[in-house]
Structure formats: structure tokens, C-alpha cells
């Protein structure tokens, strides 16, 4: 929902006042999150539902979000002194049921000779990292989509944990203290460079997307409650724009935590502080995806999808509510070849894969995986690739499978 107030006027600071009510009961709502998307400033409504928020630039987008209610977008285009009333609609987060007429055909892509630790989909090939065995340690296996093995590379004494594909296409094998850049050429796996893990964390990991002229880097601050994406020009090597996601509620809580710890005057170790932060302040999950001609920011904190051009200029918003469903799996899956976006929900039978309508913000089920032991999932060219582990000794019974999405 949107309200448009007037036409663009002079750039004048003003205070917008109003009250926030439940649209059905007409009762005031307290502690509603009020976020000025234009200035990245926020506040909360008072006990009686009233609020004030400062506006410095016009037009400005104000987002009102509250657990259990639909998000409300207010667009302010000129200075106004009239108080406004915001009516929030209660939302229903029921998980749409999926009708299964026949079990989808699941293809097993790996056999019992090795157990999959991690994998990457590389066009029509799959790069697999296996768990270590007593003879050769971990292995890298290159195979095609039909399961035919093209190359094997024993890693012997090289201790590694996972695979990573950089935003510019480079492939990395990561261990606890070191990383290795590898390459695939003529169906062969080649080692290129060994480097310290800190180099990966500083230069490679922050880059999450790229386009012809730009790269997109992410950075967490304030106990991971502020997530900033930097849009960097490849040519000038300069930051052109920044996109920011902020959890105002957790920022306020973290300040209260800090003040309380000071008042208690009890020595608290760095480890205790970190443990508390890890427990109470989970990193924001708001992925940025390059859709080809535009960027889509999944702002699950504010409750909307935000679209930008590739340079970072805002184009439009789409309110969402799927992320407030308690069964949400908190994962966005992007099929680059078909330019479609999916997410997942947990059910008693397993996981349901839903396609996200980027215009309406709604979801529709496309697949039910009748397994509660599904791990890493990747969607490529209309297929879901996923790791499934066994009920007992999961690390020794992890296989890679593939199933076509039924749309």
C-alpha cells in the first residue's frame, strides 16, 4: 500500500506526525518500526500509537513494519504539516498447501564410492568436494550432469572445508587457514594459487555480484545489524553508490545491552560478549541479486523487495510477507539461466520450494521434497540440485541429487 502526499517541492526539512492504528480494531499500535528509506533513519511509534519522523529530502519513502501486519509504504513528495493516520492491515502467513499428484522423479548424481561434502554447479558440469577417506584424504571430482566422472584430484594432506565461486567466476577451495584458487580447463581440475584465508575474507568473499561495469560488495557493521552493499565501478575503481539494510529494533536493543553491561560493573570477557552477540544478533539476511538488467535487494528486515538499476538508482518497491512465516527456511535460490527466484519452507513432510512473484511479492509452491534431511540447495536451468544426508552418521551418507521443478 502507498500514500502519495502532494508534488515535489523545495528541499525543506519537516517533521511528519501521525498515529498508527490496527485497520480492523482501530486500536493504536505501539513499537511499530518506522524507517525512512531515503535518509536511512528510523524510529518507533509510542505507547498510544503516535509517531514523529524527520524528513529532509523529497520525495521520501517511509516504511511502516510490524510483526503480524502487512507492510505500509508512505511516499512523501512535499513538506506537510497535516497529521496522518496509518492503518496497518493484519496479515495471514498461512503456508499455501502444495498438491502432489505424483512423486517427482529424483535423479541420484553420486554413488556410494564417495560422500559429498560440498558442490558447485558450473554450467553443464558439477565440481564436488568429498569427505576425506583413510587413503587419499579429500578429493575433488568433476562430473557432468548425467553423473559421468570427468576428472578426479586427490587432495592428500590438503585439509579443506568447502568450495566457493567468486563474483567474477573464480573457483576457490577453502580450508581453516588457507585457500586455493583452482581452475577447470578441458575437463581437468588445475591448482593455481595458494593464499592465506584472510586474503579470501578481505578481497574475495565480500564481492557477491558483478555486471559488465560494476561489482557489488557487502559489509556488515554494528553487530551485523547494518548490512551495506557498495557498488564499485570496474573502470574508475570507485564506490558509486551504497545500499543499506538496517535492523533498527536490534540496534536499539544492542545499545541497551551495552548500557546495562556498563551499569552492572561486572568484568565480561571478550569471548562472553561474542557468545552473547552470536546468540542474540544474527546477521541480517538480505541478499542482493543481479537480475540481468536490474538489481533486486531482498530487504527482509523492512519487508519489501527493492529494485535498482545496475548503477544503484532506486526504481520501485514490492512489499513481501513470506519471510514472516515461521516455517520459512531463510534462503533465496536464484536460477540465473531462467531469471527466476525461489525460496523454501519447512513442513512435516519435508521442504516445499516456492517461486517468488517479483511483481506481487507473493509465492506459489512448485515442488515438495519429502525429506527432512535436505541440506545445501542450488537451482540451475529449472533443476533443483540438493544434498541429502542419512538419518544416521549424516557425514558418511551425504549424496547429491537432482529434480526438475514442475511449473
Q: Are 239 and 335 in contact (CB under 8 A)?
A: no
Peptide bond before residue 156 is cis, with ω within 30 degrees of 0: no
Distance between first and last Cα of the chain = 29
pTM of the model: 0.78
Q: Are 344 and 351 in contact (CB under 8 A)?
A: yes
The pLDDT value given to residue 392: 47
Show the DSSP H helices in 142-224 as ranges: 197-199
Q: In a structure prediction context, what are the per-residue pLDDT tens digits for the chain, which is 407 residues long?
A: 445 444 444 445 788 899 999 999 999 998 888 888 777 677 889 989 999 988 888 888 888 888 778 888 888 888 877 899 999 988 765 555 555 555 678 999 998 788 999 999 998 999 999 998 777 688 999 999 988 999 999 988 788 999 999 999 999 999 999 999 999 999 999 999 999 999 999 999 999 999 999 999 999 998 889 999 999 999 988 999 999 998 887 777 777 666 666 666 666 676 666 666 666 778 899 999 999 999 999 999 888 899 999 999 988 888 888 998 889 999 999 999 999 999 999 988 888 999 999 988 889 999 988 877 888 999 999 999 999 986 544 456 789 999 999 76
The pLDDT value given to residue 326: 87
Report the distance separating Cα 127 and Cα 118, nearest Å: 9
* CB hemisphere CA count around 63 (13 angstroms): 29
| Total Cβ atoms within 10 A of residue 237 | 8
* CB hemisphere CA count around 65 (13 angstroms): 22
Is 28 part of any domain?
A: yes
Is 42 part of any domain?
A: yes
Is 63 part of any domain?
A: yes
Is 274 part of any domain?
A: no
Residue reference for cell 519489501: 304
Is 52 part of any domain?
A: yes
Counted residue by residue, the chain has a size of 407
Report the distance separating Cα 268 and Cα 351, nearest Å: 41
The whole domain housing 80 covers 2-88
Q: Are 76 and 57 in contact (CB under 8 A)?
A: no
Q: In terms of C-beta density within 10 A (0-12 exposed, 13-18 middle, 19 or more buried), how is residue 66 classed? A: buried
- CATH code at position 47: 2.60.40.1120
From residue 258, alpha-carbon distances to 83, 111, 201, 220, 264 in Å are: 35, 52, 28, 19, 10
Is 78 part of any domain?
A: yes
Taking alpha carbons only, the member of 215, 218, 220, 117 closest to residue 174 is 117
Q: Are 144 and 124 in contact (CB under 8 A)?
A: yes
Taking alpha carbons only, the member of 196, 118, 189, 204 closest to residue 385 is 118
Q: In terms of C-beta density within 10 A (0-12 exposed, 13-18 middle, 19 or more buried), how is residue 360 classed? A: exposed
The pLDDT value given to residue 272: 65
Is 27 part of any domain?
A: yes
Is 16 part of any domain?
A: yes
The helix (H) or strand (E) run that includes residue 95 is none
The pLDDT value given to residue 98: 56
Q: Could you give the number of structural domains in the chain?
A: 1
Concatenated DSSP letters of 331-345: EEEEETTTTEEEEEE
Q: In terms of C-beta density within 10 A (0-12 exposed, 13-18 middle, 19 or more buried), how is residue 282 classed? A: middle
The pLDDT value given to residue 197: 93
Task: Name the DSSP letter for residue 157.
Answer: T
Amino acid at each position: 500500500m502507498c500514500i502519495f502526499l502532494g508534488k515535489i517541492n523545495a528541499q525543506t526539512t519537516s517533521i511528519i506526525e501521525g498515529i498508527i492504528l490496527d485497520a480492523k480494531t482501530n486500536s493504536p499500535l505501539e513499537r511499530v518500526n518506522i524507517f525512512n528509506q531515503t535518509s536511512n533513519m528510523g524510529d518507533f511509534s509510542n505507547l498510544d500509537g503516535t509517531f514523529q519522523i524527520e524528513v529532509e529530502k523529497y520525495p521520501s519513502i517511509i516504511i511502516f513494519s510490524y510483526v503480524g501486519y502487512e507492510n505500509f509504504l508512505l511516499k512523501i513528495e512535499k513538506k506537510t504539516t497535516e497529521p496522518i493516520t496509518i492503518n496497518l492491515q493484519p496479515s495471514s502467513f498461512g503456508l499455501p498447501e502444495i498438491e502432489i499428484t505424483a512423486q517427482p522423479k529424483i535423479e541420484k548424481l553420486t554413488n556410494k564410492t564417495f560422500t559429498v561434502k560440498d558442490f558447485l554447479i558450473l554450467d553443464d558440469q558439477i565440481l564436488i568436494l568429498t569427505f576425506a577417506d583413510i587413503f587419499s584424504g579429500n578429493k575433488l571430482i568433476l562430473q557432468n550432469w548425467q553423473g559421468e566422472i570427468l576428472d578426479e584430484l586427490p587432495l592428500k594432506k590438503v585439509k579443506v572445508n568447502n568450495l566457493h565461486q567468486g563474483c567474477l567466476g573464480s573457483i576457490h577451495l577453502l580450508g581453516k587457514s588457507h585457500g586455493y584458487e583452482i581452475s577447470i580447463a578441458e575437463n581437468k581440475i588445475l591448482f593455481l594459487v595458494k593464499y592465506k584465508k584472510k586474503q579470501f575474507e578481505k578481497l574475495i568473499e565480500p564481492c557477491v555480484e558483478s555486471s559488465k561495469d560494476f561489482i557489488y560488495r557487502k559489509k556488515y557493521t554494528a553487530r551485523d545489524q547494518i548490512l551495506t552493499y557498495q557498488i564499485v565501478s570496474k573502470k574508475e575503481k570507485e564506490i558509486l553508490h551504497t545500499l543499506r539494510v538496517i535492523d533498527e529494533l536490534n540496534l536499539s536493543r544492542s545499545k541497551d545491552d551495552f548500557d546495562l553491561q556498563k551499569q552492572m560493573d561486572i568484568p565480561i570477557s571478550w569471548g562472553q560478549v561474542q557468545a552473547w552477540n552470536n546468540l542474540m544478533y544474527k546477521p541480517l539476511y538480505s541478499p542482493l541479486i543481479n537480475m540481468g538488467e536490474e538489481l533486486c535487494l531482498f530487504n527482509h528486515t523492512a519487508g519489501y523487495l527493492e529494485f535498482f538499476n545496475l548503477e544503484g538508482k532506486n526504481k520501485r518497491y514490492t512489499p513481501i510477507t513470506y519471510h514472516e512465516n515461521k516455517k520459512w527456511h531463510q534462503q533465496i535460490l536464484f536460477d540465473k539461466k531462467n531469471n527466476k527466484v525461489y525460496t523454501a519452507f519447512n513442513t512435516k513432510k519435508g521442504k516445499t520450494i516456492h517461486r517468488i512473484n517479483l511483481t506481487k511479492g507473493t509465492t506459489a509452491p512448485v515442488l515438495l521434497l519429502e525429506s527432512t534431511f535436505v541440506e545445501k540447495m542450488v537451482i540451475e536451468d529449472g533443476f533443483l540440485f540438493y544434498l541429502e544426508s542419512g538419518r544416521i552418521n549424516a557425514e558418511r551418507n551425504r549424496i547429491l541429487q537432482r529434480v526438475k521443478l514442475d511449473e
